[in-house]
Amino acid sequence: MQPMVAHTNGKCNQWLRYRRRVVPDSIAREIVIDAPLERVWAIVTEARHIAGWFSDEAEIDLRPGGAMRLTWHGHGTYQGRVETVDPPHSFAFRWLRRDDVDAGATLVVMTLSPEGASTRLQVVESGFAGLPWPEGERSRYADENRVGWGVELGELRAYAER
């Protein structure tokens, strides 16, 4: 006899029928970039570089509390607020959904460390579980950002290593 979850007669395991998708509170990505720490720091914190790998246009006031404005042609402009600047090891910003309001904001923390002549970059984006949205929207947003960081960090690596 097969386990209950394999039955197709509609009598599936009750917990599967009512199972809710759990929204992760954070996502993390880590890469090693064949570039020195100081170069990678500049690439993740200076507007001219951010516009070369992340967004199409960028403005950043690189100090805690400073404003960020990132524009993707065809997708719009998004606001952020700088939270942490600890050169060349830690940079954090908060996405803002409305003018300077933390509700609906996730926190992105970039941690850089030297690894020989290369740089290890860890990106953690957190706060998904606390977003004031329906669960399906929070889950979709976390999934989109998980995939997006994979793509963006690949672009960062290519930008830094050229």
pLDDT > 60? residue 3:
no
Whether residue 95 is contained in a domain is answered as: yes
Task: Find out whether 91 and 84 touch, Cβ atoms under 8 Å.
Answer: yes
Amino acid sitting at position 107: L
Q: How much of the chain is helix, strand and coil, in % rounded to 5?
A: 30, 35, 35
In eight-state DSSP terms, residue 62 is -
pLDDT greater at residue 110 or residue 135: 110
Specify the pLDDT at position 103: 63
HSE (CB half, 13 Å, CA atoms) of 85?
14
pLDDT greater at residue 102 or residue 11: 102
pLDDT > 60? residue 13:
no
Interval 31-75: pLDDT, tens: 999 999 999 999 999 999 999 999 999 999 999 999 999 999 999
Strands of the chain (E only): list them: 26-33, 57-60, 67-72, 76-86, 90-96, 107-115, 118-126
CA 128 to chain centre: 10
- What is the residue range of 134's domain? 21-161
Q: What is the mean pLDDT of residues 90-109?
A: 80
51's tokens: 């516009």
Specify the pLDDT at position 23: 84
pLDDT > 80? residue 25:
yes
Q: At residue 38, what are phi and psi to the nearest 5 degrees?
A: -65, -35
Whether residue 68 is contained in a domain is answered as: yes
The domain spanning residue 148 has which CATH number?
A: 3.30.530.20
Whether residue 8 is contained in a domain is answered as: no
Whether residue 102 is contained in a domain is answered as: yes
- The pTM score is 0.83
Q: Residue 88, preceding bond cis, omega within 30 degrees?
A: yes
- Residues 126 and 26: their CA atoms lie apart, in Å, by 4
Q: What is the mean pLDDT of residues 75-91?
A: 96
- Residues 8 and 73: their CA atoms lie apart, in Å, by 47
Whether residue 16 is contained in a domain is answered as: no
Whether residue 27 is contained in a domain is answered as: yes
7's tokens: 């039955």
Per-residue pLDDT band at 85 (split at 50, 70, 90):
very high
Specify the pLDDT at position 18: 39
Whether residue 151 is contained in a domain is answered as: yes
Whether residue 112 is contained in a domain is answered as: yes
pLDDT > 90? residue 5:
no
The crossing angle, in degrees rounded to 10, of helices 37-45 and 135-161 is 130
Domain count for the chain, please give it: 1
Specify the pLDDT at position 16: 41
